[in-house]
Structures are given as structure tokens and as C-alpha cells.
């Protein structure tokens, strides 16, 4: 199944990518980490290190996540709040 994005989904992802990292506050641009693949509106703004870093990243050892005592839902909450404060 191809995941074709509509205009609203593309706009949402672009807005998420402009935000600072929802874990460490590194200024954007950020990656849009999908909490659930294919669900465009449950994406979290993450810097490269908090997203894919071997030590700190969600797809690594998650050291920064443990230090901040955060999980994906916590980070999603930060992302949504920042989008709404916009």
C-alpha cells in the first residue's frame, strides 16, 4: 500500500519539522518521528540525535529520553502544544 499524503498531511508534517526537538529543545529543523507508521498526525518533532542517535535516540539506546523521563506520548504532547501555541 502506498502512503500518499494529502495537502493537509504535508502541511502538518512541514509544521512539525519547523519545531525545535520535543525532547532536548534543539532548534529546528527537526525530523517528524511517527509514533505509528502511516499516522501523519501523531508525529513528534525530534532532532537527529534524539531521533536516530545511537546513544540518545529513540531508535538507539534512548539515553536522553531516560534522562528527561519521557516517552513518545510525552514528546507528542510537547509537539502538539507547540503547534497550538504556534
| pLDDT in single tens digits along all 86 residues of the chain | 456 899 999 999 999 999 999 999 999 999 999 999 889 999 999 999 999 999 989 989 999 999 999 999 999 999 999 999 98
pLDDT confidence of residue 76:
97
Question: How many domains does the chain fold into?
Answer: 1
The range of the structural domain enclosing residue 43 comes to 9-85
pLDDT confidence of residue 70:
95
pLDDT confidence of residue 4:
87
pLDDT confidence of residue 3:
64
Whole-model pTM: value is: 0.89
Whether residue 28 lies inside any domain: the answer is yes
Whether residue 17 lies inside any domain: the answer is yes
Whether residue 77 lies inside any domain: the answer is yes
pLDDT confidence of residue 34:
95
Whether residue 4 lies inside any domain: the answer is no
CA 67 to chain CA mean position, Å: 17
Whether residue 73 lies inside any domain: the answer is yes
pLDDT confidence of residue 1:
40
The tally of CA atoms less than 13 A away on the side-chain side of residue 23 is 29
Distance CA 47, CA 53 (A): 9
Amino acid at each position: 500500500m502506498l502512503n500518499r499524503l494529502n495537502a493537509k498531511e504535508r502541511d502538518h508534517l512541514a509544521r512539525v519539522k519547523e519545531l525545535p526537538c520535543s525532547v532536548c529543545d534543539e532548534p529546528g529543523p527537526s525530523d517528524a518521528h511517527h509514533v505509528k507508521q502511516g499516522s501523519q498526525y501523531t508525529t513528534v518533532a525530534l532532532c537527529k540525535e534524539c531521533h536516530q542517535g545511537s546513544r540518545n535516540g529513540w531508535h538507539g539506546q534512548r539515553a536522553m529520553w531516560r534522562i528527561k523521563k519521557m516517552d513518545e506520548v510525552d514528546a507528542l504532547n510537547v509537539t502538539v502544544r507547540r503547534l497550538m501555541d504556534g
